[in-house]
């Protein structure tokens, strides 16, 4: 019987490992690769686009959708500073146009796809007795709005400007309301928790921000059409996207029957392609 030396055993072991590695590499090459789409998305779309992403992945097994949710202005800044993304979904045409002007977008793919409007929300127990916009200027009322740089904060200020121009309210109303603002948020996702925790008496958000689950914590009050501001959401593909074909497919899904149904369920108003 031939006895193997330690050196022989080491050589044989290395040959086996090498063979396994080669076999592993061959298997990997034969397996279709997974495409990852990075979608920079306005925070107000968090719930809807999370569901859309799951539905899209269920129909496209080799595609993974990674979302980055934040305020539109923050996402714009990240893109301008070199962040890698395939699609930008904005809650404001202003930030999309800025990126288009800077050469960051594939301009032919940019289009409005969604409408949204503002709503007044109060805690379910409503300790301040808020019944509508007319109560927001009362002394001691604590209000949460968005910062002037985020779309829902910009639209809120536009609404108050409309009311200031109406003799029924006037400039004094707007000034009193702004004095009652106790917090300005950079994303709508942080507003509902503040009301639920009793940190504020009222807030101005998008109507779509109030989910079915939120209705156990807050009550949504409609804002009259003459004062409301309709937000238009555009989306488009980044000029440097490495996956433009897959990005086009995802956008088509968002704007198709399945995506539109999810958006409508969340309180948005889809715009036909």
pLDDT tens digit sequence for 140-171:
999 999 999 888 899 999 999 999 999 999 99
- Two tokens, residue 74: 């923050």
Domains of the chain: 35-115+232-270 (3.40.190.10), 117-230 (3.40.190.10)
Confidence check: pLDDT of 6 > 60:
no
Is residue 178 scored above 80 in pLDDT?
A: yes
Measured distance CA(15)–CA(241) in Å, rounded: 42
**Local confidence band at 32 (pLDDT 50, 70, 90 cut-offs):** low
CB 231 within 8 A of CB 157: no
267 three-class SS: coil
Q: Classify residue 231 by burial, with Cβ atoms within 10 Å: 0-12, 13-18, 19+.
A: buried
Q: What is the pTM of this model?
A: 0.71
The confidence score (pLDDT) of residue 211 equals 75
Percent of the chain with pLDDT over 70: 88
Hey, which of 8-22, 31-45, 111-125, 196-210 has the most confident mean pLDDT? 111-125
To the nearest 10°, report the CA torsion of 137, 185, 182, 199.
Answer: 100
Whether the CB-CB separation of 176 and 163 falls below 8 Å is answered with: no
Query: Is the pLDDT assigned to residue 212 strictly greater than 50?
Result: yes
- Supply the pLDDT for residue 190: 84
Q: What is the pLDDT of residues 33-79, one digit of tens each?
A: 789 999 999 988 998 999 999 999 999 989 999 999 998 999 999 99
Element housing 151 (H / E): helix 151-164
For the residues 208-217, what does the mean pLDDT come to?
80
CA dihedral 84, 146, 107, 47 (to 10 degrees): 70
């Amino acid at each position: 019987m031939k006895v193997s030396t330690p050196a022989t055993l080491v050589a044989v072991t290395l040959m086996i490992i090498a063979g396994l590695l080669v076999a592993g590499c061959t298997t990997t090459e034969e397996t279709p690769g997974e495409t990852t789409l990075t979608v920079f998305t306005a925070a107000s779309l968090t719930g809807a686009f999370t569901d859309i992403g799951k539905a899209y992945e269920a129909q496209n097994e080799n595609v993974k959708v990674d979302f980055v949710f934040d305020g539109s202005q923050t996402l714009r800044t990240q893109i301008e500073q070199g962040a890698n993304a395939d699609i930008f979904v904005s809650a404001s045409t202003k930030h999309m146009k800025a990126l288009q002007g800077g050469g960051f977008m594939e301009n032919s793919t940019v289009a409005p796809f969604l409408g949204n409007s503002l709503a007044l929300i109060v805690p379910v127990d409503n300790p301040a007795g808020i019944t509508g916009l007319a109560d927001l200027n009362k002394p001691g009322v604590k209000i949460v709005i968005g910062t002037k740089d985020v779309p829902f904060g910009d639209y809120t200020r536009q609404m108050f400007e409309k009311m200031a121009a109406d003799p029924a309210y006037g400039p004094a109303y707007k000034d009193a309301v702004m004095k009652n603002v106790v917090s300005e948020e950079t994303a709508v996702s942080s507003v509902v928790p503040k009301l639920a925790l009793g940190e504020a008496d009222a807030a101005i958000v998008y109507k779509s921000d109030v989910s079915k689950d939120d209705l156990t914590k807050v009550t949504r009050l409609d804002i009259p059409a003459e004062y409301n501001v309709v937000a238009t959401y555009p989306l488009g593909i980044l000029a440097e996207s490495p996956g433009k074909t897959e990005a086009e497919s995802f956008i088509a899904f968002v704007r198709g029957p399945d995506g539109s149904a999810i958006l409508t369920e969340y309180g948005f108003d889809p715009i036909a392609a």
